[in-house]
């Protein structure tokens, strides 16, 4: 029901996004979206590009007097760096004849993209495969995030590790053990994580991570890491087991895995559940204030592809950035000889940014399933549908079995 499309090259004029399918009458501002864009830009270990860009969105359509119209929302983010790349990125006939890139970087889309699209310049592959595109996604998903906030659904994240440096206190475990207060909202964690230059929750860990990033920089190397992204206030009943492509966990995994450099996604206890007895994995069912709950949340808030009503918890891993200042071996496509890979300005670490992008993808998928279930044309209509649903869940089930 909802969809978005992005367009734009990393060093082109701008990034464009069209978001479609959201209802009318909820508040949306460019400030709200730009705040999320700023969060994505932050983080120790980013390269000089982030000093050039100061991402701001302009809303071109779909909003009037601060409220959505239900019409397509067109968004634009301008690339400041374009002014330095006009000749390289010209739409018309090339102004410069030299400067084609012929040495692919291992780990990037340079070689696969060049082979697949039959390019004569690796630059053509670099531009669209660049993680710059994720700014568009964050903009699009800010609409979803704002929509969800109308229903008390909140999304948060933190960086769990960078370069194998983990915190002393396992915050993820706390989430999985379902030890959060009832009224806890996920964005509180993001608020705390945003205060750290690497989005870590532990001060001691943060300084160790920064030291390790400094070592990576000095050695012309890069680092990856893991992060946790989760949503609170998600009702029971989103997603379905009726068909493979309606499963909430499958849909979330796809969305998170689609982020540049993400190599692993876990739901709840994830891989660790394969090492335990079943009795230490499955979440016992409880009755709490006339509704169902669980003693633990190892399932990460999803059973049978359907949300349980507990926080949805995702953990993911990002590989180290593929551009190395101390390059690996490659092949020059011009000479077909072995050479050192090409150096290109880039980030050393982008795990903090990745965690914010993952929040966005999670917000989008939850909004999609939420609208599929409670959909309507105006926010008022959806609120009414949602209220009726919440009021009757427990009542209906207890009546059915009497």
Between 135 and 153, CB nearer to ligand EPS: 135
Residue 132 binds ligand EPS, judged by CB under 6 A: yes
DSSP state for residue 239 in the 8-state scheme: B
Name the segment binding ligand EPS (CB under 6 A); options: 23-31, 49-57, 189-197, 373-381.
49-57
Which member of 130, 205, 308, 330 binds ligand EPS (CB under 6 A)? 130
d(CA 343, CA 357): 26
Please tell me whether residue 136 binds ligand EPS under the rule CB under 6 A: no
CA-wise closest residue to 249 among 285, 298, 300, 292: 300
Q: Cβ of 108: how many Cβ atoms within 10 Å?
A: 23
Asked if 284 and 294 touch (Cβ cutoff 8 Å), the reply is yes
Greatest alpha-carbon span in the chain: 79
Q: What is the dihedral of CA 260, 264, 269, 270, to 10 degrees?
A: 140
Residue numbers 364-383 binding ligand EPS by CB under 6 A: none
What residues does 123 pair with on adjacent strands?
A: none
Whole-number CA gyration radius for the chain:
23
Nearest to 229 by CA among 266, 277, 274: 266
Q: Which of 57, 63, 101, 135 binds ligand EPS (CB under 6 A)?
A: 135
Answer for which of 39, 49, 137, 146 binds ligand EPS (CB under 6 A) is 49
Tokens read off for 233: 């206030």
Output 131 or 172, the one with its CB closest to ligand EPS: 131
Of 21-29, 310-318, 326-334, 342-350: span binding ligand EPS (CB under 6 A): 342-350
Stretch that binds ligand EPS, among 48-56, 113-121, 324-332, 393-401 (CB under 6 A): 48-56
* Both tokens assigned to 15: 């990034």
Beta carbon of residue 274, minimum distance to ligand EPS (angstroms, whole number) = 33
Contact 339, 105 (CB under 8 A): no
Q: According to CB under 6 A, which one of 337, 345, 399, 402 is a site residue for ligand EPS?
A: 345
CA quadruple 59, 63, 66, 69: dihedral, nearest 10: -160
Smaller CB separation from ligand EPS, 102 or 185: 102
CB neighbourhood size of 110 (10 A): 27
Instruction: Give yes or no for residue 131 binding ligand EPS (CB under 6 A).
Output: yes
Smallest distance from ligand EPS to CB 345, Å: 4
End-to-end, the C-alpha distance of the chain in Å comes to: 37
The minimum distance between CB 90 and ligand EPS, in angstroms, equals 17
* 107 is an interface residue for ligand EPS by CB under 6 A: no
Query: Distance between CA atoms of 77 and 84, rounded to whole angstroms?
Result: 17
| Binding of residue 123 to ligand EPS (CB under 6 A) | no
Contact between 198 and ligand EPS by CB under 6 A: the answer reads no
Q: How far is the CB of 112 from ligand EPS (least distance, A)?
A: 14
Query: Shortest distance, CB of residue 49 to ligand EPS, whole angstroms?
Result: 4
Q: Which residues bind ligand EPS (CB under 6 A)?
A: 10, 47, 49-50, 53, 130-132, 135, 345-347
């Amino acid at each position: 029901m909802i969809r978005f499309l992005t367009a734009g090259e990393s060093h082109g004029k701008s990034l464009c996004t069209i978001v479609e399918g959201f209802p009318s009458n909820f508040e949306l501002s460019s400030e709200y979206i730009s705040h999320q864009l700023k969060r994505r830009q932050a983080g120790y270990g980013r390269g000089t590009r982030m000093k050039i860009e100061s991402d701001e969105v302009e809303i071109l359509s779909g909003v009037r007097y601060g409220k959505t119209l239900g019409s397509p929302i067109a968004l634009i983010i301008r690339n400041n760096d374009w002014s330095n790349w006009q000749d390289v990125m010209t739409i018309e006939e090339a102004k410069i004849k030299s400067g084609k890139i012929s040495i692919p970087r291992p780990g990037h889309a340079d070689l696969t993209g060049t082979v697949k699209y039959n390019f004569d310049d690796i630059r053509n592959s670099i531009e669209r495969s660049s993680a710059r595109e994720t700014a568009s996604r964050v903009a699009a998903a800010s609409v979803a995030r704002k929509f969800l906030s109308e229903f008390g659904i909140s999304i948060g994240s933190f960086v769990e590790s960078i370069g194998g440096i983990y915190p002393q206190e396992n915050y993820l475990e706390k989430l999985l053990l379902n030890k959060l207060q009832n009224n806890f909202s996920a964005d509180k964690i993001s608020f705390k994580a945003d205060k750290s230059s690497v989005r870590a929750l532990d001060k001691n860990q943060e300084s160790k991570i920064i030291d390790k990033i400094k070592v990576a920089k000095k050695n012309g190397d890069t680092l990856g890491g893991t992060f946790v992204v989760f949503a609170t206030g998600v009702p029971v009943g989103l997603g379905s087991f009726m068909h493979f492509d309606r499963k909430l966990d499958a849909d979330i995994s796809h969305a998170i895995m689609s982020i540049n450099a993400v190599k692993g996604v876990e739901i709840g206890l994830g891989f660790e559940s394969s090492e335990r007895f079943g009795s230490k994995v499955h979440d016992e069912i409880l009755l709490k204030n006339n509704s169902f709950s669980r003693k633990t949340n190892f399932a990460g808030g999803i059973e049978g592809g359907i949300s349980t009503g507990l926080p949805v918890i995702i953990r993911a891993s990002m590989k180290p950035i593929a551009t190395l200042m101390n390059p690996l071996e490659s092949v020059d496509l011009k000479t077909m000889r072995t050479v050192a890979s090409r150096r290109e300005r880039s980030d050393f670490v982008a795990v903090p940014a990745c965690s914010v992008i993952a929040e966005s993808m999670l917000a989008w998928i939850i909004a999609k399933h939420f609208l599929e279930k409670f959909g309507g044309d105006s926010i008022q209509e959806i609120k009414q549908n949602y209220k009726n649903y919440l009021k009757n869940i427990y009542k209906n089930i207890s009546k059915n079995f009497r």
